[in-house]
């Protein structure tokens, strides 16, 4: 399959760490929950779903997680935070701050935010020895490519700051003009770890140009905006190398995703100029998000860009 975009549900699972400490079929199970359990989706059990306005990550859980790992990690929180900070500094030349610790099967997922530029959200995994009530701070790790993706997106946003400012302003105006809202930043900090992210979108970079850019960053963490642009240009960056995944929710708890609103948003973005080059994907959900998975996309969500995104050159 040549297409680099991953549908929203899968993308959040892969980047957000839901499979980080669990069995290899975790993503398949999560997708099954979202795609097939229609009765539960329709009921919107308040123990399982939350209005997006209220969601900060409370209730988020990894399948097979052992609560005791989180309890042990929080008892040693200073050690855990220091180990994760050192891990990001040593492995990725990046200063971070810890936002949240989530229990997993044999350890914890630690959700972080970079300090300064490149800006991104991510997570690392810290194994926990339940029997001896110890955190293995010398064995911190991350999923392959997950942190790198966040850094790549953060570098792109750093280099094209003015274009992203225009995009952010436009998306905020959509909130003012339509009964729609984005995701609370607290939820992004606590449980999503979706790379370069805002309340309205996240970035998913791919391809050789971004691999070369990451290599340059590793050699020179003080890389400038002009150097980022030059590296991308020299390595044949194309808009399809950067997926910009835009996600909105209906503001009213009783509203289904509105096709007319979606179409107007789609057309507005299609006509938008002077914003970041990339392949844009747009999803509109109802008001509710799955507390456990941190995912808002359901069978009633509207996504006319799933097969073909909007290319902005």
What is residue 43's predicted lDDT score, i.e. its pLDDT? 61
The answer to whether position 238 is within a domain reads yes
- Does the pLDDT of residue 33 top 80, yes or no? no
Maximum separation of any 2 CA atoms in the chain, in Å: 59
Q: Are residues 133 and 68 both part of a single domain?
A: yes
- Does the pLDDT of residue 8 top 90, yes or no? no
Q: Are residues 105 and 147 both part of a single domain?
A: no
Which of 140, 166, 196 is the last residue in one of the domains?
A: 140
Tell me phi and psi for residue 276, to 5 degrees.
-55, 140
The answer to whether position 3 is within a domain reads no
pTM of the prediction? 0.87
Banded pLDDT at 46 (limits 50, 70, 90): confident
Q: Which domain holds residue 99?
A: 62-140
The answer to whether position 1 is within a domain reads no
What is residue 41's predicted lDDT score, i.e. its pLDDT? 45
Q: Are residues 209 and 284 both part of a single domain?
A: yes
Q: Give pLDDT tens digits for 92-148.
A: 999 999 999 999 999 999 999 999 999 999 999 999 999 999 999 999 999 999 999
Tokens of 90: 């040593």
Q: What's the mean pLDDT when you consider all of the chain?
A: 88
Cis peptide before 230 (omega within 30 of 0): no
Cα 293 to Cα 10: distance, rounded to the nearest angstrom: 11
Q: Are residues 89 and 130 both part of a single domain?
A: yes
What is residue 308's predicted lDDT score, i.e. its pLDDT? 86
Q: Pairing between strand 121-129 and 107-114?
A: antiparallel
Q: Are residues 185 and 51 both part of a single domain?
A: yes
Cα 241 to Cα 244: distance, rounded to the nearest angstrom: 10
What is residue 47's predicted lDDT score, i.e. its pLDDT? 82
Average pLDDT over residues 302-306: 92
Cα 265 to Cα 272: distance, rounded to the nearest angstrom: 10
- Does the pLDDT of residue 19 top 90, yes or no? no
Q: Are residues 204 and 100 both part of a single domain?
A: no
Q: Are residues 203 and 123 both part of a single domain?
A: no
Which of 114, 140, 166 is the last residue in one of the domains?
A: 140
Total domains present in the chain: 2
Q: Give pLDDT tens digits for 49-68.
A: 999 999 999 999 998 899 99
Q: Are residues 187 and 260 both part of a single domain?
A: yes
Q: Are residues 116 and 247 both part of a single domain?
A: no
Q: Are residues 182 and 42 both part of a single domain?
A: yes
Q: Are residues 38 and 54 both part of a single domain?
A: yes
Average pLDDT over residues 216-231: 97
């Amino acid at each position: 399959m040549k297409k680099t975009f991953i549908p929203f549900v899968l993308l959040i699972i892969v980047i957000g760490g839901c499979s980080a400490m669990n069995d290899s079929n975790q993503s398949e199970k999560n997708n099954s929950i979202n795609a097939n359990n229609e009765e539960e989706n329709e009921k919107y059990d308040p123990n399982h779903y939350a209005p997006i306005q209220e969601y900060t990550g409370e209730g988020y859980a990894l399948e097979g997680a052992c609560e005791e790992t989180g309890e042990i990690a929080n008892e040693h929180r200073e050690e855990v935070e220091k180990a994760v900070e050192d891990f990001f500094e040593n492995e990725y030349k990046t200063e971070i701050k810890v936002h949240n610790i989530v229990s997993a099967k044999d350890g914890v997922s630690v959700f972080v935010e970079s300090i300064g530029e490149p800006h991104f959200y991510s997570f690392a995994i810290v194994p926990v020895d339940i029997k001896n009530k110890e955190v293995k701070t010398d064995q911190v790790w991350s999923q392959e490519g997950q942190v790198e993706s966040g850094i790549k997106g953060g570098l792109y946003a750093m280099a094209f700051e003015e274009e992203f400012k225009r995009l952010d302003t436009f998306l905020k105006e959509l909130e003012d003009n339509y009964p729609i809202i984005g995701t609370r930043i607290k939820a992004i900090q606590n449980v999503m770890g979706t790379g370069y992210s805002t309340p309205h979108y996240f970035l998913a970079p791919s391809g050789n140009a971004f691999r070369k850019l990451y290599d340059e960053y590793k050699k020179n963490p003080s890389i400038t905006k002009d150097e980022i642009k030059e590296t991308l240009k020299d390595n044949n960056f194309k808009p399809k190398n950067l997926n910009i995944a835009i996600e909105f929710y209906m503001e009213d708890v009783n509203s289904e995703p509105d096709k007319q609103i979606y179409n107007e948003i789609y057309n507005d973005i299609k006509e938008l100029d002077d914003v970041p080059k990339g392949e844009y994907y747009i999803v509109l959900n109802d008001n509710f998000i799955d507390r456990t998975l941190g995912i808002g996309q359901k069978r009633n969500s509207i996504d006319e860009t799933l097969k073909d995104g909007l290319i902005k050159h």
